Structure 1
Amino acid sequence: MTVSAVTNDPEIDRMVDINGIMTNLHDQGTGYPVMMIHGSGPGVSAWANWRLTIPELAKQRRVIAPDMIGFGFTQRPADNHYSVDRWVNHAIAILDTLGIEQTDLVGNSFGGALSLALAIRHPERIRRLVLMGSVGVSFDITQGLDAVWGYQPSVEAMKSLLDIFAHDRSLVNDELAELRYQASIQPGFQEAFAAMFPAPRQRWVDALASAEQDIRALPHETLIIHGREDQVIPLQTSLTLSQWIGNAQLHVFGHCGHWTQIEHTARFNRLVLDFLSEADNP
């Protein structure tokens, strides 16, 4: 069942019943599908994460960008329990509900860990894989990630997080901090977020990691993207992934923090589109 959202909020698109969970998802464009899975910042939504990428990819692709369970405007589960299993099952159920047998997959940070897990568990459902600033291997949690997951709502706390996310400080201003703070305090948002990654938070880094042998067995052509100055997820995670995934290529953006798709929008979009288009003309 699909409910068309009647709202002027660009973060809300289609509300679709996914196995009993009313799921907000952006479904734009036509062509070979690409699913985009957002990161795990406070108040995040698919649109907040991918707003500069969805319109460009949708010129050539059918773009599916859901708010994952517990995030954005998707319904929260009654038990407020979250896990890789639940998130991966949600993603697969979205594809099943939309009748998509195979898709390209783009994951950002936390979404990269889910994309890895999805590709490992359902390799036939994924054609090509893009991982941006990805979690998915174990590492010592950074102060930046600990601050992100430990966020307690205030404008000042949001300003501090934006400083961590972006290398280019011109992208961080009071208006953006206020906007993202307001997003983080919408009904149910912080309650769900606080339930996902309680201290000690190293265990959640490890819980999101896939086994080395499973990552090494991935057959997919994979594009790995990382900002050199990323303070949230260390560059070493992408170096490790590029060594473990046989059909991988790694692109590192200099003068870039955790927001590659925002700090280097045009170059990021072109890189992803070119990579995905290679599969159209093998």
Structure 2
Amino acid sequence: MTTQTSPEIARTVDVGGIATNYHDEGSGPPVVLIHGSGPGVTAYANWRLTIPELATRYRVIAPDILGFGYTERPEGVRYGMESWTSHLLGFLDALGLEKVALVGNSFGGALALSMATRAPERVEKLVLMGSVGVPFEITPGLDAVWGFEPSLEAMRELMGVFAHDRSLLTDDLARSRLEAATRPGIHEAFSSMFPAPRQRSVDAMTVDEALIRAIAVPTLVVHGRDDQVIPLTNSLRLLELIDTSQLHVFGRCGHWVQIEHAADFARLVGDFLA
């Protein structure tokens, strides 16, 4: 695909020799959006409804994290929280961003927590949505996400795990996400990130609770009440651990808060960051 045919491809910056695809819209205080880890995910697919709303008030920056989307996938790279955190820190450096607000979704929440505990001087505020990063027993939903084997039927089933609102689950959406998940090299990289038994990947993304307790920046925790992928108890635990946190739970909502409740989510986040 080219920039003319895919809105998922935007700008490119060199991050330690890795050509990194990212979106950069609006002006004002910088807000970095970190996507989740679904098959074929990109920053645009994850945040397409959020970016234009927040960009009316902030400079909104959304990268494809190492191994995902249209960011380069170097041969021999070892995917894990260390390499993902280093890539994100390098990305901030490459753009000259000294301090940002971070908004992390699911896997992106764990990465945001890693950033906030490893480089707290770089983080102004924190939003954690349906976040990984605390201990939990892997759900059947998350096991299905990370164990995805490409087919149209499997993608339809997976979208049913993500969304509470079944009206969102169109065949066109399933086909487009399957196409994204099966671009050359994408499924191979994805499979290497989360091999079975996948509880090990949950554990590897867990941030030490003592470090989470030390987070002192204002933190908004967001979750869908009906999330089948990441349990609501994760967000309740984050609320307990982070003294400066508040929690907002959306009813009639699965793992796609930013899509199922797009306007309310963007308003909530925008007001919190203000």
In the other structure, the counterpart of 2:169 is 172
Q: Structure 1 pair 142/97, CA: closer, same or farther in 2 (3 Å)?
A: same
Question: Which is worse superposed, 71-80 or 219-228?
Answer: 71-80
Residue identity in the other structure for 2:35: H
Deviation at 1:7, TM superposition (A): 2.7
Structure 2 residue identity aligned to 1:110: F
The match for 1:50 is: 47
Once the two structures are superposed, residues 173-208 of structure 1 have per-residue CA deviations (whole angstroms, 9 ceiling, x without a partner) of 111111101110001110100000000000000000
1:203 aligns with 2:200: yes
Are 2:197 and 1:214 equivalent residues in the alignment?
no
Determine whether 1:93 maps to 2:90.
yes
Q: Which amino acid aligns with 1:206?
A: D
One-letter amino acid of the counterpart of residue 97, structure 1: A
Q: Find out whether 1:116 has 2:109 as its counterpart.
A: no
Residue of structure 2 in register with 1:280 after alignment = none
Of 233, 252, 255 in structure 2, the residue corresponding to residue 255 of structure 1 is 252
Identical amino acids, percent of aligned pairs: 61
Matches within 5 A, 1:232-243: 232-243=229-240
Q: Provide the rounded CA distance (Å) in 2 between the counterparts of 1:42 and 1:48.
A: 11
CA deviations 1:113-133 (Å, max 9, x no partner) are 000010001101000000000
Q: Does the aligned pair in 2 maintain the 1:80–1:192 contact within 8 Å? A: no
Deviations 1:111-167 (A, max 9, x none): 000000100011010000000000000100000000000000000000000000000
- How many pairs were matched up? 273
1:134-149 pair list within 5 angstroms: 134-149=131-146
Unaligned runs of 5+ in 1: 278-282
Amino acid at match of 1:214: L
Query: Could you tell me whether the CA contact under 8 Å between 1:104 and 1:128 is conserved in 2?
Result: yes
Q: CA deviation at 1:59?
A: 1.0
Match of 1:76 among 73, 79, 82: 73
1:80–1:195 Cα contact (<8 Å) kept: no
Taking the aligned partners of 1:159 and 1:21, their CA distance within structure 2 comes to 33
**1:223 matched to which residue of 2?**
220
Tell me by how many angstroms 1:6 deviates: 4.0
SS in 1 for 2:253: coil
Amino acid at match of 1:81: R
- SS at the partner of 2:133? coil
Give TM-score scaled by structure 1 length.
0.96
In 2, the alpha carbon distance for the partners of 1:174 and 1:7 equals 24
Letter in structure 2 aligned against 1:7: Q
TM-fit CA distance, 1:60: 1.1
CA distance in 1, matches of 2:90, 2:61: 13
TM-score by length of 2: 0.98
* 3-state DSSP of counterpart to 2:216: coil
In 1: Cα distance, 2:122 partner to 2:3 partner:
32
Distance 1:187 1:80 in 2: 17
How many angstroms apart in 2 are the aligned matches of 1:183 and 1:8? 13
Q: Name the structure 2 match of 1:28.
A: 25
What is the alpha-carbon distance in structure 2 between the residues aligned to residue 146 and residue 81 of structure 1? 21
Give 3-state SS (helix, strand or coil) of 1:31's partner: coil
